[in-house]
Amino acid sequence: MEKEMEKGSYMIDNEEFGTVKIANDVVAMIAGLAATEVEGVSAMVGNIPNELMGKVGMKKQTKGVKIDILDGNVSVELAVTLEYGFNIPTTCNKVQEKVKNAIETMTGFTVSDVNIRIVGIQMAESK
């Protein structure tokens, strides 16, 4: 039913209606967007911080996300910057749950692991 296509995409074969190809970048975008929705995550590596993203209309969140898909199982690696003052293990646990749920809900794939690398801490802007 499912098989890997050309490098960079994954095909779901539905005999009744045809095929659906999901690009790895789409899965990476889902992971990046889900991660940045968690309170305490400032940004993905290489991306504009969350508060600026909405102002400039940027939606692509694939920087700092590595996706491996094999036989419908997804392995995710994230590089994130957290906001100062948030508990790192608790925040990362929330990110792992959010990313896993988002990918599984939207693609039907099984997420085997979500690994997170903290690459920085963002200090709050003084108002």
pLDDT digits (tens, 9 = 90+) for 55-82: 444 445 578 899 998 888 999 999 999 9
Structural domains in the chain, CATH included, are 23-122 (3.30.70.1350)
Beta strands 110-122 and 73-83 are parallel
**Residues contacting residue 96 through CB under 8 Å, at least 6 positions apart:** 114, 116
The pTM for the full model equals 0.80
User: Which of 25, 42, 38, 31 shows the shortest CA–CA distance to 119?
Assistant: 42
d(CA 26, CA 39): 23
The low-confidence residues of the chain, meaning pLDDT below 70, are: 1-7, 46-61, 126-127
